């Protein structure tokens, strides 16, 4: 008999598994694992996203887990974007992401690298960071030295300038475990080797890793579909359909639509989803990419106000119901929230508690809070 779930059931399940209904006491690595990775294109947003899910944590705890304890690792994850991952899961991530069908190059002939050149650059990156943590300029010099001058040709359009050709392979190198991120050197990002940071590291076998990745995704974002999984990974839908069919998954129905969970993983919280939560930049991007369909996640005015931009979102009972923004000045933080629904007294109290938690995670010593319009754009 097919298990049926309401959208409320799905929201309660996802809030629990993302440590949003009750703050976790299990540490940064467990939070990152439960979310199937934390988007970290802006590191301060990742620190806030993890810290808000932990009982009593600050951004210093996240930094310690990443750079001192090494229970977290900053690496290229789904869609080739920068993520913070549980370090113990990195072999599975690298094995699974290495097995994804290669995406077509967005670059024109004369700019894009051949498959052989890409492999040569990835090998050069791995060899270079095996020796030391390197800035991007230092890494570029090492790659050109190992491959040839063609790798350093300034032909790759990026941010109103041109980057050297070899940088096309950086995300792929990161996904395959050839490199990860190291501690910043002043204001400069460095790149490191998982083999030096995590002794014994090697990518897991592809079949086992892909099965693990599907289960991890469905744990965090399920019930879901092959098409949504493919969207989350930026992978072909037919490939995802075949992968789902090869695994031990269970079909369920959500509001009459077919979806999938790992076999036997149909349980969820008995209570309805409750509470107001504030999600930072990029955290909401991951939540949205995995948490389709948009018409249910962004009901009413939220669909017009917040769906298309990378804004910081206010969740009420697991769905988007507003925006928020913070402005820092030294140790002072000013927070503005714009609910798009009428909040109850209890929800106002929840919102005030969330503001206090944001201030605590960001180690602010003075906080102001205003309810009113959020006028900034995405990433502001």
Q: Report how far residue 353's alpha carbon sits from residue 363's, in angstroms, rounded to the nearest whole number.
A: 15
What are the tokens at 374?
């959020």
DSSP label at residue 2: -
- pLDDT, tens only, 127-150: 999 999 999 999 999 999 999 999
Length of the chain: 380
Prediction pTM value: 0.94
The residue whose two tokens read 């808000």 is 52
Residue 366 has a CB neighbour count (10 Å cut-off) of: 11
Picking from 8, 194, 203, the residue whose alpha carbon sits closest to that of residue 96 is 203
Query: To which H or E segment does residue 220 belong?
Result: helix 206-221
Digit-by-digit pLDDT tens for the chain (380 residues) are: 889 999 999 999 999 999 999 989 999 999 999 999 999 988 999 999 999 999 999 999 999 999 999 999 999 999 999 999 999 999 999 999 999 998 888 889 989 999 999 999 999 999 999 999 999 999 999 999 999 999 999 999 988 899 999 999 999 999 999 999 999 999 999 999 999 988 899 999 999 999 999 999 999 999 999 999 999 999 999 999 999 999 999 999 999 999 999 999 999 898 999 999 999 987 765 566 665 677 888 888 888 887 766 789 999 999 999 999 999 999 999 999 999 999 999 999 999 999 999 999 999 999 999 999 998 765 55
Q: With b meaning 16 or more CB within 10 Å and e meaning fewer, what string describes 228-237? A: bbbbbbebee
Picking from 181, 187, 67, the residue whose alpha carbon sits closest to that of residue 133 is 181
The residue whose two tokens read 């030096």 is 196
Q: Is the dihedral of CA 269, 274, 277, 279 positive or negative?
A: positive
What local confidence, expressed as pLDDT, does residue 359 receive?
96
Q: Are 134 and 190 in contact (CB under 8 A)?
A: yes
Sheet strands side by side (includes 188-192):
134-135, 188-192, 180-185
Sheet strands side by side (includes 257-262):
3-5, 249-254, 257-262
- pLDDT, tens only, 72-98: 999 999 999 999 999 999 999 999 999
Task: Give the 3-state secondary structure of residue 120.
Answer: helix
Q: Report how far residue 104's alpha carbon sits from residue 344's, in angstroms, rounded to the nearest whole number.
A: 49
Angle CA(327)–CA(329)–CA(332) in degrees, nearest 5? 85
What local confidence, expressed as pLDDT, does residue 293 receive?
76
């Amino acid at each position: 008999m097919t298990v049926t779930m309401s959208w409320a059931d799905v929201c309660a399940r996802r809030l629990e598994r993302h440590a949003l209904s009750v703050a976790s006491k299990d540490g940064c690595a467990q939070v990152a694992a439960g979310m199937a990775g934390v988007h970290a294109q802006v590191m301060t947003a990742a620190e806030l996203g993890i810290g808000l899910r932990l009982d009593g944590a600050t951004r210093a705890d996240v930094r310690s887990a990443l750079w001192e304890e090494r229970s977290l690792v900053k690496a290229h994850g789904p869609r080739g974007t920068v993520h913070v991952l549980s370090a113990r899961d990195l072999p599975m991530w690298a094995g699974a992401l290495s097995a994804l069908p290669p995406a077509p190059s967005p670059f024109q002939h004369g700019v894009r690298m051949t498959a052989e050149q890409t492999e040569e650059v990835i090998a050069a990156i791995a060899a270079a960071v095996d020796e030391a943590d390197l800035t991007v300029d230092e890494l570029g010099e090492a790659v050109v030295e190992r491959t040839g001058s063609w790798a350093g040709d300034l032909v790759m359009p990026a941010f109103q300038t041109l980057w050297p050709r070899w940088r096309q392979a950086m995300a792929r190198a990161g996904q395959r475990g050839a490199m990860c991120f190291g501690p910043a050197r002043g204001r400069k990002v460095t790149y490191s080797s998982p083999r030096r940071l995590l002794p014994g590291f090697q990518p897991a076998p592809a079949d086992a890793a892909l099965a693990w990745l599907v289960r991890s995704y469905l744990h965090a974002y399920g019930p879901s579909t092959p098409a949504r999984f493919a969207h989350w990974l930026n992978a072909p839908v037919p490939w995802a359909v075949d992968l789902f069919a090869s695994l031990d998954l269970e079909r369920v129905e959500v509001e009459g639509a077919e979806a999938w969970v790992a076999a036997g993983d149909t349980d969820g919280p008995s209570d309805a989803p409750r509470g107001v939560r504030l999600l930072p930049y990029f955290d909401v991007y991951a939540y949205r990419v995995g948490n389709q369909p948009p018409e249910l996640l962004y009901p009413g005015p939220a669909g017009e106000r917040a769906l298309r931009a990378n804004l910081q979102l206010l969740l009420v009972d697991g769905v988007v119901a507003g925006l928020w923004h913070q402005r820092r000045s030294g140790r002072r933080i000013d927070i503005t929230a714009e609910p798009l629904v009428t909040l109850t007294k209890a929800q106002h109290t929840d919102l005030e508690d969330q503001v206090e938690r944001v201030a605590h995670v960001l180690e602010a010593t003075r906080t102001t809070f205003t309810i009113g319009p959020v006028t900034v754009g995405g990433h502001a």
